[in-house]
Amino acid sequence: MGTPPTVIEYRRSFLFEVSPEELWQALSEPQRFESWWGWLGELRVDGQGLVDGAVLSGLVSPPVPYRMRVTVRLDRCRRPARIDATVEGDLRGTASLELHPHEAGTSAEVAWRIEMMQRAMRIAARVAAPVLRWGHDRVVDMTVHGFRRHLRSLGERGGAAG
């Protein structure tokens, strides 16, 4: 039996032209995420950066007519290599980020398995799964693009580049 239409399983690697340590450092300012990513609003950060037990809560607004309240609990953070997290709220599941040194800088592998919990989204997933998947993939693309733009701005200021 395959994955239900209400579940999104995702795994992909992205290359960044900075070291794993520089990438981790740039990610260590979650209070700035809203300025990088237009799809994220009402962000609240409980904890000091990327540490075990930190909790990030916010409103996700993808390019489909649904908004989702999501809480991400950082279960395990191993600088500068790995984050394992639990996702709760309108999306539920698990997520991870692995950073590996690469000749071009860092290979960042993201993976998650999340289930849509809103009743309207669950119904939509059964009849229009490709549209919801498209919205999901656009949010990922915007996230990576926004983070690369942020890394470039750091490089221009004398920090990391990417």
The amino acid occupying position 38 is G
Q: Are 18 and 100 in contact (CB under 8 A)?
A: no
CA pair distance 135, 131, nearest whole angstrom: 6
Task: Give residue-wise pLDDT tens across range 41-79.
Answer: 999 999 888 999 999 999 998 877 789 999 999 999 999
In a domain, 161, yes or no: no
In a domain, 1, yes or no: no
Measured CA to CA in angstroms, residue 4 lies from 10, 50, 121 at distances of: 14, 32, 13
Residue with tokens 């394992």: 84
Residue 161, pLDDT > 80, answer no
Task: Give the model's confidence band at 38: pLDDT under 50 very low, under 70 low, under 90 confident, else very high.
Answer: confident
In a domain, 162, yes or no: no
Task: Give residue-wise pLDDT tens across range 73-109.
Answer: 999 999 999 999 999 999 999 999 999 999 999 999 9
Task: Give residue-wise pLDDT tens across range 104-129.
Answer: 999 999 999 999 999 988 998 999 98
Q: Are 133 and 116 in contact (CB under 8 A)?
A: no
19 contact partners, CB below 8 Å, separation of at least 6: 80, 101, 105, 106, 160
In a domain, 2, yes or no: no
Report the number of distinct structural domains present in the chain: 1
For the chain, state the CA radius of gyration.
16
Max CA pair span of the chain: 51
In a domain, 91, yes or no: yes
Domain range holding 11? 7-156
In a domain, 70, yes or no: yes
Residue with tokens 């740039």: 26
Q: Is the pTM of this model over 0.85?
A: yes
In a domain, 116, yes or no: yes
In a domain, 139, yes or no: yes
Looking up residue 127, the CATH number of its domain turns out to be 3.30.530.20
102 bridge partner residues = 105
